[in-house]
Structure 1
Protein backbone atom coordinates (compact mmCIF):
# COMPACT_ATOMS: atom_id res chain seq x y z
CA UNK A 1 0.00 0.00 0.00
CA UNK A 2 1.36 3.41 -0.96
CA UNK A 3 1.11 6.25 1.52
CA UNK A 4 2.13 9.88 1.44
CA UNK A 5 3.74 12.10 4.01
CA UNK A 6 4.41 15.81 4.29
CA UNK A 7 7.82 16.97 3.13
CA UNK A 8 9.49 18.75 6.04
CA UNK A 9 9.29 22.51 5.57
CA UNK A 10 12.12 24.90 6.29
CA UNK A 11 9.47 27.24 7.68
CA UNK A 12 5.66 27.44 7.83
CA UNK A 13 3.25 30.23 8.64
CA UNK A 14 -0.39 29.38 9.38
CA UNK A 15 -3.14 31.99 9.19
CA UNK A 16 -6.90 31.65 8.92
CA UNK A 17 -6.62 27.98 8.00
CA UNK A 18 -4.20 28.52 5.11
CA UNK A 19 -0.43 28.35 5.20
CA UNK A 20 2.73 29.58 3.57
CA UNK A 21 5.26 26.78 3.32
CA UNK A 22 8.96 27.21 2.53
CA UNK A 23 10.41 24.06 0.94
CA UNK A 24 13.64 23.91 -1.07
CA UNK A 25 13.88 27.68 -1.37
CA UNK A 26 10.34 28.10 -2.71
CA UNK A 27 7.39 29.58 -0.86
CA UNK A 28 4.04 27.88 -1.53
CA UNK A 29 0.66 29.28 -0.58
CA UNK A 30 -1.39 26.31 0.57
CA UNK A 31 -5.18 26.34 0.84
CA UNK A 32 -7.02 25.28 3.96
CA UNK A 33 -7.66 21.89 2.36
CA UNK A 34 -3.98 21.44 1.49
CA UNK A 35 -2.97 22.58 4.97
CA UNK A 36 -5.15 19.88 6.54
CA UNK A 37 -3.68 17.29 4.17
CA UNK A 38 -0.12 18.28 5.14
CA UNK A 39 -0.99 18.25 8.85
CA UNK A 40 -2.62 14.81 8.67
CA UNK A 41 0.28 13.50 6.58
CA UNK A 42 2.85 14.43 9.23
CA UNK A 43 2.98 10.65 9.60
CA UNK A 44 2.44 8.50 6.52
CA UNK A 45 -1.21 8.26 5.52
CA UNK A 46 -3.12 6.69 2.65
CA UNK A 47 -5.36 8.70 0.35
CA UNK A 48 -8.31 6.89 1.94
CA UNK A 49 -7.27 8.02 5.41
CA UNK A 50 -6.76 11.57 4.17
CA UNK A 51 -10.19 11.56 2.49
CA UNK A 52 -11.76 10.57 5.81
CA UNK A 53 -9.90 13.41 7.53
CA UNK A 54 -11.10 15.96 4.98
CA UNK A 55 -14.72 14.82 5.33
CA UNK A 56 -14.33 15.07 9.11
CA UNK A 57 -13.05 18.67 8.86
CA UNK A 58 -14.97 20.06 5.86
CA UNK A 59 -17.90 17.68 5.43
CA UNK A 60 -18.61 15.62 2.31
CA UNK A 61 -17.97 17.24 -1.09
CA UNK A 62 -21.03 18.26 -3.15
CA UNK A 63 -20.55 15.42 -5.64
CA UNK A 64 -19.99 12.88 -2.86
CA UNK A 65 -16.68 11.67 -4.30
CA UNK A 66 -14.35 12.46 -1.39
CA UNK A 67 -11.82 9.82 -2.41
CA UNK A 68 -11.49 11.11 -5.98
CA UNK A 69 -11.23 14.73 -4.94
CA UNK A 70 -8.70 13.91 -2.23
CA UNK A 71 -6.61 11.98 -4.75
CA UNK A 72 -6.56 15.03 -7.03
CA UNK A 73 -5.55 17.33 -4.16
CA UNK A 74 -2.83 14.92 -3.04
CA UNK A 75 -1.46 14.83 -6.59
CA UNK A 76 -1.26 18.64 -6.69
CA UNK A 77 0.72 18.62 -3.44
CA UNK A 78 2.97 15.81 -4.73
CA UNK A 79 3.64 17.77 -7.93
CA UNK A 80 4.49 20.87 -5.87
CA UNK A 81 6.95 18.89 -3.73
CA UNK A 82 4.91 19.40 -0.55
CA UNK A 83 4.07 15.70 -0.14
CA UNK A 84 6.10 12.62 -0.99
CA UNK A 85 5.19 8.98 -1.44
CA UNK A 86 6.32 6.24 0.92
CA UNK A 87 5.91 2.50 0.43
CA UNK A 88 4.05 0.63 3.12
CA UNK A 89 4.06 1.87 6.69
Structure 2
Protein backbone atom coordinates (compact mmCIF):
# COMPACT_ATOMS: atom_id res chain seq x y z
CA UNK A 1 0.00 0.00 0.00
CA UNK A 2 1.31 3.40 -0.92
CA UNK A 3 0.57 6.50 1.11
CA UNK A 4 0.31 9.62 -0.97
CA UNK A 5 0.68 13.02 0.58
CA UNK A 6 -2.26 15.42 0.19
CA UNK A 7 -1.45 18.22 -2.23
CA UNK A 8 -1.12 21.87 -1.18
CA UNK A 9 -2.72 21.44 2.23
CA UNK A 10 -1.52 23.90 4.87
CA UNK A 11 0.58 22.18 7.50
CA UNK A 12 0.18 22.69 11.23
CA UNK A 13 3.34 24.02 12.87
CA UNK A 14 5.45 21.41 14.62
CA UNK A 15 5.00 23.20 17.96
CA UNK A 16 1.21 23.21 17.52
CA UNK A 17 1.34 19.58 16.45
CA UNK A 18 3.09 18.43 19.62
CA UNK A 19 0.84 20.58 21.81
CA UNK A 20 -2.35 19.28 20.15
CA UNK A 21 -2.35 15.97 22.02
CA UNK A 22 -1.21 15.27 25.61
CA UNK A 23 0.31 11.95 24.49
CA UNK A 24 2.41 13.80 21.92
CA UNK A 25 3.63 16.24 24.57
CA UNK A 26 4.90 13.21 26.49
CA UNK A 27 6.58 11.81 23.36
CA UNK A 28 8.25 15.19 22.72
CA UNK A 29 9.49 15.39 26.31
CA UNK A 30 10.83 11.82 26.17
CA UNK A 31 12.59 12.56 22.88
CA UNK A 32 14.22 15.64 24.40
CA UNK A 33 15.30 13.68 27.48
CA UNK A 34 16.52 10.49 25.79
CA UNK A 35 17.59 11.56 22.29
CA UNK A 36 18.87 15.06 23.10
CA UNK A 37 20.15 14.46 26.65
CA UNK A 38 17.65 16.99 27.96
CA UNK A 39 18.89 19.73 25.62
CA UNK A 40 15.66 21.47 24.65
CA UNK A 41 17.50 24.09 22.58
CA UNK A 42 19.14 21.43 20.40
CA UNK A 43 15.81 19.65 19.92
CA UNK A 44 14.03 22.91 19.05
CA UNK A 45 16.81 23.85 16.62
CA UNK A 46 16.30 20.56 14.80
CA UNK A 47 12.51 21.01 14.77
CA UNK A 48 13.07 24.51 13.32
CA UNK A 49 15.08 22.90 10.53
CA UNK A 50 12.14 20.59 9.76
CA UNK A 51 9.45 23.29 10.01
CA UNK A 52 9.73 24.68 6.44
CA UNK A 53 9.86 21.21 4.84
CA UNK A 54 6.66 20.54 2.89
CA UNK A 55 7.40 16.94 1.90
CA UNK A 56 7.41 13.91 4.23
CA UNK A 57 10.31 12.27 2.38
CA UNK A 58 12.48 15.35 2.96
CA UNK A 59 11.59 15.27 6.65
CA UNK A 60 12.42 11.57 6.95
CA UNK A 61 15.74 12.09 5.15
CA UNK A 62 16.60 14.87 7.62
CA UNK A 63 15.47 12.78 10.61
CA UNK A 64 17.51 9.78 9.46
CA UNK A 65 20.58 12.00 8.98
CA UNK A 66 20.07 13.49 12.46
CA UNK A 67 19.74 10.03 14.00
CA UNK A 68 22.93 8.90 12.26
CA UNK A 69 24.78 12.05 13.37
CA UNK A 70 23.70 11.54 16.97
CA UNK A 71 24.09 7.73 16.79
CA UNK A 72 20.43 7.20 17.67
CA UNK A 73 18.83 3.86 16.93
CA UNK A 74 15.90 4.50 14.59
CA UNK A 75 13.93 1.69 16.20
CA UNK A 76 14.26 3.02 19.75
CA UNK A 77 10.99 3.84 21.49
CA UNK A 78 11.76 7.56 21.62
CA UNK A 79 12.90 7.77 17.98
CA UNK A 80 9.80 5.92 16.81
CA UNK A 81 7.57 8.13 18.95
CA UNK A 82 9.12 11.26 17.48
CA UNK A 83 8.76 10.11 13.88
CA UNK A 84 5.18 8.93 14.52
CA UNK A 85 4.15 12.40 15.66
CA UNK A 86 5.97 14.11 12.79
CA UNK A 87 4.24 11.72 10.36
CA UNK A 88 0.87 13.00 11.60
CA UNK A 89 1.81 16.49 10.42
CA UNK A 90 1.86 15.27 6.81
CA UNK A 91 -0.78 12.53 7.05
CA UNK A 92 -3.26 13.54 9.78
CA UNK A 93 -5.86 10.96 8.75
CA UNK A 94 -3.55 7.96 9.37
TM-score by shorter chain over 0.5:
no
Task: Report the TM-score when normalising by structure 1.
Answer: 0.39
* TM-score, normalisation: structure 2: 0.38
More helix by percentage? 2
